[in-house]
Amino acid sequence: MDPKILNNILVEIAEFEELLLRANQELKHNTDLTFSLEELQSEYEADAAEAASLNQGAKVTLHSLENEITQVSELLKVKEQMLVGLTDRRQVRAVNDEISGLKLRLDRLEDETISLLDKQDLLKAEATESQCESRAHGTKSLARQETMASDSMALTQKVKHIKDDVQRLISMLPPVEGRAVGRLREKLDQAVVHHHKGACQGCFHQLPLQQGIAVDSGRTIVRCPSCMRFLVHRSWR
Ligand SMILES: [Zn+2]
């Protein structure tokens, strides 16, 4: 095969391999982004769940405080009634001591209830806000993920077509070069690359000056002495 024709096929392979690389990068980017959106969403959900559980915990505590207040108040009433029929001074003093103890306990319980009620308003607001945030992010994130999923589907199709094109071009090469390109593609993401300022774009090995010139002429087949990739000039199209 005329080296010029062979070179032209390699030039086309290089173009397709670049497209393939870009499409695969976009696919990876989509996958990474989907993953981080999902992670962010579970963080939002965890925050909302925590706020809800704190709010629920405050409700439960408040309920048991109310029960205790009722019990202590009833006990207080009983003790105050007991006092009415008592004549023994020692007994009177003992009941009076109990009554002041109960009153003290009632005061403390009421203080606790008031401060918890204040706190509960805040907890309730936080729980609501957190849930709203989580829902809003969820909706946005879902829409974004749907777009990315359809992008990814299109990209996957594109990748398949490019691979078919590369395969078709490889089959047009003479067997020796065809096998060499195939082997390189098994190991590396690109079998045919360009050079930039005399450096192989596959492994960045600096090529001897003569080799760079030979690549640009397109009249001989040049391979990088370091990574063995085929080197071609950019498409003239
Ligand atoms: Zn190289």
Rg (CA), the chain: 40
* Residue with token string 């050079």: 195
- CATH fold of 3-193 reads Helix Hairpins (1.10.287)
Contact 130, 47 (CB under 8 A): yes
Q: Ligand 1 centre and the CA of 228: distance in Å? A: 6
Boundaries of every domain in the chain: 3-193
| pLDDT for residue 237 | 65
Q: Ligand 1 centre and the CA of 203: distance in Å? A: 4
Which helix (H) or strand (E) segment holds residue 196: the answer is strand 195-196
Asked if residue 116 has pLDDT above 90, the reply is yes
Helices (H), 85-233: 89-172, 175-187, 209-217
Phi, psi of 195 (to 5 degrees): -115, 150
Q: Ligand 1 centre and the CA of 140: distance in Å? A: 44
Q: Ligand 1 centre and the CA of 223: distance in Å? A: 8
Q: Ligand 1 centre and the CA of 15: distance in Å? A: 17
Q: Ligand 1 centre and the CA of 183: distance in Å? A: 15
Q: Which residues have C-beta within 8 Å of that of residue 81, sequence separation ≥ 6?
A: none
Q: Ligand 1 centre and the CA of 164: distance in Å? A: 25
- As a whole number, mean pLDDT of residues 57-77 equals 96
pLDDT in tens, 175-190: 999 999 999 999 999 9
Q: Ligand 1 centre and the CA of 201: distance in Å? A: 7
pLDDT in tens, 200-209: 999 999 999 9
